[in-house]
A and B are shown apart, each in its own frame.
Chain A
Amino acid sequence: MALILQRLVAPARRGALKHSTYECGEEVEGSAWTQFNIRFYVIALVFLIFDVEVVILFPWAVVFKDIGLVAFVEMLIFLCVLTIGLVAVWRRRDLDWVKMVLPYARGRYARLTRDPD
């Protein structure tokens, strides 16, 4: 009930803030929306899977005390399977942001020839 009340309070706040703005225009140079790098999408994809995993961990954590060792082993199997996924993504370097690999890198760039991990 208190939460609902909170919900009811929120719109008033919104209203008050909105009314205090006043409209005026000025031309600002801008540019169009462009396509962006797919790695953001991949990150969101990986996040989605692991978010589901974390969400499943919550009920497990709550009942963990009652069930004990059995629950621990069960979750261990679950996490191991998902860790395979993480390792696979890791190995594919989808978690890396710097993808550039220099063929003849030297000096401070030498590490770009290697796998950063």
Chain B
Amino acid sequence: MTTILFYLFSALLLGAALFVVLNRNPIYSVVGLVFAFMNLAAMYFLLEAYFIGVLQVLVYAGAIMVLFLFVVMLLNVQPDRPHPGLIHPDRWWFGIMALIFVSLFLLLIGQGVRALLTSPAEDAAGMGSVADVGEALFTSFLLPFEIASLLLTVALIGTVFLAKKKV
């Protein structure tokens, strides 16, 4: 049952992700991305990492994507016309970016394969529960946690200032 659902959600996730990349209407892409996140959350649920799954929905699907949707609607981007030509002498940096992207991608895949070859880490019962996260956050990772608050504040003020400058 779990295996079937895993493949089902994986297929849906990949399908949604491809839909996001391949289609030209930004609103559709946003909706597709939300759907992809929901499937990702479902996969976390299958792993019994309920907290992370819910965070995925709450923060990514519920907050970040709303922002994306607003941006897309705000800019009112029309569906993209096909580019006149991707390969052009002026676009040499496209090649560099593609190179970086591909090497990163290969690196990630390599990591994944290596992880598959080694034996999986033992996870304690109920790992990834909310209490675990809380415990870790407020004992071992206290300093990063407090720094995160600074980061959030800086991000808040910075983005709001930038957003307002344009008007």
Contacts and interface: CB of A to CB of B under 8 A. Distances in A.
**Per the CB under 8 Å rule, do A and B touch in the complex?**
yes
A49 B156 contact: yes
Interface in A66-117: 66-67, 70-71, 74, 77-79, 81-82, 84-85, 88-89, 92, 94
B23 interface: no
Contacts of B164: 38, 42, 92, 94
A88 B5 CA distance: 47
Contacts of A81: 146, 149-150, 152-153
A4 B74 CA distance: 37
Contacts of A33: 73, 76
A46 B152 CA distance: 10
Is the contact region of chain B dominated by helix, strand, or loop, or is it mixed?
helix
A42 B163 CA distance: 7
A41 B70 contact: yes
Contacts of A59: 51, 130-131, 133-134, 137
B109 interface: no
Interface residues of A, number: 45
B166 interface: yes
B160 A94 contact: yes
Given A36-B73, A52-B59, A59-B137, A89 B163 contact: no
Contacts of B67: 41, 44-45, 48
Interface size class of B (residues with CB under 8 A): 35 or more
Contacts of A4: 1, 5, 45
A62 interface: yes
Is the contact region of chain A dominated by helix, strand, or loop, or is it mixed?
helix
A55 B58 contact: yes
A22 interface: no
A51 B58 CA distance: 8
B31 interface: no
Given A44-B70, A77-B149, A94-B160, A7 B59 contact: no
20 contacts: A4-B45, A7-B42, A34-B76, A35-B74, A41-B74, A42-B163, A45-B163, A49-B156, A51-B62, A51-B63, A53-B149, A55-B58, A59-B133, A62-B130, A62-B131, A63-B138, A71-B138, A81-B152, A82-B153, A92-B164
Interface of A: 3-4, 7, 33-36, 38, 40-42, 44-49, 51-53, 55-56, 58-64, 66-67, 70-71, 74, 77-79, 81-82, 84-85, 88-89, 92, 94
